[in-house]
Structure 1
Amino acid sequence: MAAAAASAVGRGERPGAGGAAGVGRSGAGGLTVTHRGGGYRYLPAGDAYSGGVAAEPGFEFVALTFAEPKPVAEGFARLDRELAARGLTASALVGVHLRSQAPVDLGAFDDFNVRYHALLAERGVLEDAVNPVARTNVVPVHAPPAEPVIHTAFVVRAAAGAGGTDFVVAGCGEIIGGLAPENIVARGDLSPAGLTRKASAVLAEIGDRVRRLGVDASVAATVNVYTSHEVTGLPDLLVDGLPVVARSGFVRWLTSPPVVEVEFEMDCHRVSAWQAIP
C-alpha cells in the first residue's frame, strides 16, 4: 500500500479512499485529515494555512530553502519547476515559511491571505477549498524584504526507509481563538509577566498541535521562536512545554509576527533532508 501511495503523492491521484498556521489556533475539532495523495495528514485550520502536517508511513518531508528568497508569486512559479524536475506536482507541497516586510493589521493580513490562497488554488493544492499546507509568516527586524517572500518550502516524497516520522507544525502567535484583536493574549502588555503569558499560550498551542498530529516530539526536531522581545525564563518554559528542547535546543529568530500587536510566535518541524535551490 505504501508503494502505491508513494506513486500518487504530488500527482493529484487518489490511491484509495483517502480523507476528504500564521497566527491563531488550528481548529477543526482537533481531527487530522489524510491528504488525497495518501502521503501525509494535516490539521485543517482555515483558508490561509493548516495547523500542521505529518508524514504517513512510507513518506518523508524535504525542506527546500531558496538561496535567494523569492517574492511569493515568483517563488511558487520556481517551486512548480523544481517539483516538476523531481517528478512531482504542486500537490506535493506541505508547508511554506514566508518572510514579510512589516507587521500589518488584520484587514491587510486577510487581504494577503486571499491572494496567497488564490495562488494555491491555481495549482490544485486545495482539497475542496480546504488548505492543507502549513505556514509560518514572520517579519525580520533587520533587513526585511520589500514584499513577502518564500524562504523555505516543505515537500513530501516517498521515503527511502520506513518514513512516517517527519512533521511541520505551522507558526502560531498568541491569538487564541478567531483572528480578532480581543483574542490576543495579554494584548498590549509587554511587561515580563505579559510576555510570559504570551509565550505560554503559544507553547501550549504548539504542544497541542504536536499531540493532535500524533507525532513523536521526543525525536530530534527544530523548534523555532520568533520574537523581537526578551522573554524572561524562556529556555525553562520551552523545556517544560517541549522536552525535546533540552536535547536539541531551539532557534531564536529576531523577528515579529505578521500581525500588529502580536509579539510572539513559534513553530517546529522534523524533516529528513534540507536542500538549497536557486
Structure 2
Amino acid sequence: MSTPIDFTAGNYRYVPSVFQYSAGAEALPGFHVERVMFRKPVPLRQGFERIAAHIQAAGRPLTAFCACELRSPAPFDDAGFKAFNEIYVGTLSQWGIYDAATKANPVARSNVCPEIGGPPEPSFHAFSFVAAGDAAGPQFVISGSGEAREGAGSYAERIVRLNETTPDAMREKAVFVLGQMEKRMGAFGHGWDATTAVQAYTVHDLHSYMAEEIVSRGAARAGLTWHFNRPPVIGLDYEMDCRSVAVERAL
C-alpha cells in the first residue's frame, strides 16, 4: 500500500489508488471529517451543486471535499465504468481537486447499486468534507473495495472466485475485502478499533462467515450496516467501506 500524500488544499492526506478515487482520506491535524447523508439519492449533477453549496456555507473551500458514496442503477461493464468515472472526475478537476495531468485523485469513494428501489441514474447517497477543529479520535474515510485484485487486466481476470456465490466462495471474497480494508486503514496507522462505522454491500447471505471473519477481527465493533446492494462492476459480489468521523448529519 502506498504512503499517504498530503493534499494541503483540502487539509487532508490520502492513499493513492486509481484515477477515479483514492484508497482513503484522513484529516490533517487541527481538522476533522464531517459526513452528510442525503435522505434521498440526488442525481450526480444536482448532487455536486448541493455539495458545493453545503461546503461553502460551512466556510470551507471546495477542495475540502474528501469522500463520497454513490448509488448507480445497475453494475457497469468495464467500458461503461471507465466512461462514468471520466465524467465524475471532470467536476473534481473544476474544483481543483483532481489533477488530470498526473491523474492524482485524493477523494475516497464508494459506488454501489441497490438491488431494489435504486435510482434511475447515478446519484449521491452521502459525502464527506474536512472541517476546521480538532476532534477526539482518528478522522478518516476508507474507499469501498470489492473482491478484485489490484493490477492490470479486466475485472473478470482479477475477481476472486468469479461467478461463484456459494457460502465458501462468499467467505473467501469477504476475507479478501476485509484484508483490503485493513491495508488501507493500516496505511494511515489505524485499524478496526478506530472505526465509527463499517458498511457491507452484497445481495448474498453473509451470516455463515459473519462471526468468524467479520465480528472476530473487530470489524463490527460499532455494528455492521448491511446494504442490499451490488458492487458497481459486473462480476463483483461483495464490497465494504469504513470510516471514523466526528460529525454525521442528514439533509
Which TM-score tier does this pair reach, normalised by the shorter chain?
Answer: over 0.9
Deviation at 1:261, TM superposition (A): 0.7
Secondary structure of 2:48's aligned partner: helix
* Aligned with 1:156 (options 130, 141, 148): 130
Contact 1:60 1:164 in 2 (8 A): no
Following superposition, the deviation at residue 153 of structure 1 comes to 0.6
1:237 equivalenced with 2:213 (yes/no) = yes
Residue deviations 1:99-120 (CA, integer Å, cap 9, x gap): 1100111111111011011121
State the 1:220 CA deviation. 4.6
2:55 aligned to which of 70, 83, 86:
83
Number of the residue aligned with 2:36: 64
Deviation, structure 1 residue 38 = 6.4
Q: Report the counterpart of residue 113 of structure 1 in structure 2.
A: 85
Superposed displacement of residue 164, structure 1: 6.2
User: Partners of 1:212 and 1:274 in 2: how far apart?
Assistant: 24
Runs (4+) of structure 1 exceeding 6 A deviation are none
- Map of 1:174 onto structure 2: 147
1 CA distance for matches of 2:45 and 2:211? Answer: 37
Q: 1:21-170 maps to which residues of 2 (within 5 A)?
A: 29-37=1-9, 39-127=11-99, 128-159=102-133, 161-162=134-135, 165-170=138-143
Residue of structure 2 aligned with 1:223, choices 185, 198, 202: 198
The 5 Å alignment of 1:245-256 reads: 245=220, 247-256=221-230
Q: Which amino acid aligns with 1:173?
A: G
1:174–1:211 Cα change, 3 Å: same
Question: 3-state SS of the aligned residue for 2:194?
Answer: coil
**Residue 198 of structure 2 corresponds to residue 212 of structure 1:** no
| Runs of 5+ unmatched residues, structure 1 | 1-28
* 8 A Cα contact 1:65 1:153, kept in partner: yes
Greater shift, 249-258 or 125-134, is seen at 125-134
Residues of 2 paired with 1:43 and 1:130: CA distance?
Answer: 10
Checking the alignment, whether the CA contact within 8 Å between 1:165 and 1:216 is kept in structure 2 is no
Please state how far the C-alpha of 1:67 moved relative to its aligned partner. Answer: 2.6
Alpha carbons of structure 1 residues 182 and 93: separation in structure 2 relative to 1, 3 Å = same
Per the TM alignment, residue 274 of structure 1 is displaced from its structure 2 partner at its CA by 1.1
Q: Secondary structure at the match of 2:192?
A: coil
> CA-to-partner distance for each residue in 1:187-224, whole Å, 9 max, x for gaps?
11111111111111111111111111223531352110
Q: For the residues of structure 2 that align with 1:78 and 1:263, how far apart are their CA atoms?
A: 31
Aligned letter for 2:143? A
Supply the distance in 2 between the matched residues of 1:106 and 1:144 (Cα, whole angstroms).
20
> Are the aligned partners of 1:55 and 1:164 in contact in 2 as well (CA < 8 Å)?
no
Amino acid at match of 2:139: D
Match of 1:198 in 2: 173
**Comparing 189-198 with 123-132, which one deviates more in the overlay?**
123-132
Percent identity of paired positions between Structure 1 and Structure 2: 33
The alpha-carbon deviation at position 270 of structure 1 amounts to 1.2
Secondary structure of 2:31's aligned partner: strand
Distance in 1 between residues matched to 2:195 and 2:21, nearest whole Å: 24
- Cα distance in 1 for partners of 2:66, 2:136 equals 15
How high is the TM-score relative to the length of structure 1?
0.84
| Equivalent residues in 2 for 1:9-28, closer than 5 Å | none
In structure 1, the residue corresponding to 2:76 is in which secondary structure?
coil
Deviation at 1:77, TM superposition (A): 1.2
